[in-house]
Amino acid sequence: MARPRRYDPERRDRIVDAALRVVGRAGIAGLSHRTVAAEADVPLGSTTYHFGSLDELLVAALRRANDNFGRALRESPGLADPAADLAAVLARLIGTWLGGERTGVELEYELYLAALRRPALRPVAAEWAEDVSACLAPRTDPATARAVIALMDGICLQVLLTDGRYDEEYAREMLGRVLGGAAPKG
């Protein structure tokens, strides 16, 4: 007699969270349906049921990881305040993000950069830039927003790759230079 299916509405989310933990611990090379199933404590068939391929699982994981910084931007009162120094607000947000759990930030960038070799991830990587650009839209023009995103990515990657210390004042100054030529929307 077949066992009844257990109702488990959070299983998909637990699988995505488990994938993030596996990639955080073992890198993308360590990701498999089997390692994720073991980490999530679900049957192997559950991972393949919810995610037909590892790329589908990575897309879901990247989307979840992307939301961390995007949420911080969307919830930042300084970003919505037209009188606030945008460069200072962004530099502070980067500092808060980099000052948190380093493994989490490294994981987000590992997934983001995986799009170089995994075309299925490219639209999700682009979504991150579009989300950040939309957050910046009330304060600057689209071209400047893209330049700001590139600068923020560059600063974050340099800190991560060199195990360097984040210099918030430097970031504020460089962001200010990029934003200085931007005409605020209004």
Q: Are residues 48 and 132 in the same domain?
A: no
- What is the pLDDT at residue 152? 95
Domain membership flag for residue 160: yes
Q: What is the CATH number of the domain that holds 34?
A: 1.10.10.60
- What is the pLDDT at residue 181? 55
Q: Are residues 101 and 172 in the same domain?
A: yes
Residue range(s) defining the domain that contains residue 126: 62-179
- What is the pLDDT at residue 5? 55
Q: Are residues 19 and 105 in the same domain?
A: no
Q: Are residues 150 and 123 in the same domain?
A: yes
Domain membership flag for residue 3: no
d(C-alpha 14, C-alpha 52), whole Å: 16
- What is the pLDDT at residue 183? 46
Residues 6+ apart with CB under 8 A from 29: none
Q: Are residues 76 and 164 in the same domain?
A: yes
From the CB of residue 8, how many other CB atoms can be counted at a distance below 10 Å?
A: 10
Q: Are residues 48 and 70 in the same domain?
A: no
Q: What is the DSSP secondary structure assignment for residue 5, as one 8-state letter?
A: P
- What is the pLDDT at residue 164? 86
Q: Are residues 70 and 44 in the same domain?
A: no
Contact 55, 19 (CB under 8 A): no
Q: Are residues 70 and 33 in the same domain?
A: no
- What is the pLDDT at residue 1? 53
Q: Are residues 27 and 100 in the same domain?
A: no
pTM over 0.85: no
- What is the pLDDT at residue 186? 47
Number of residues in the chain? 186
Per-residue pLDDT of the chain (186 residues; tens, 9 = 90+): 545 456 677 999 999 999 999 998 998 999 999 999 999 999 999 999 999 999 999 999 988 888 877 888 888 888 889 899 999 999 999 999 888 777 778 888 888 889 899 999 999 989 888 989 999 999 999 999 999 999 999 999 999 999 889 999 999 999 999 999 554 454
Give the CA distances from residue 115 to residues 12, 54, 65, 109, 166, in Å, rounded to whole numbers and listed in that order: 22, 13, 14, 10, 25
- What is the pLDDT at residue 128? 86
Domains in the chain: how many in total? 2
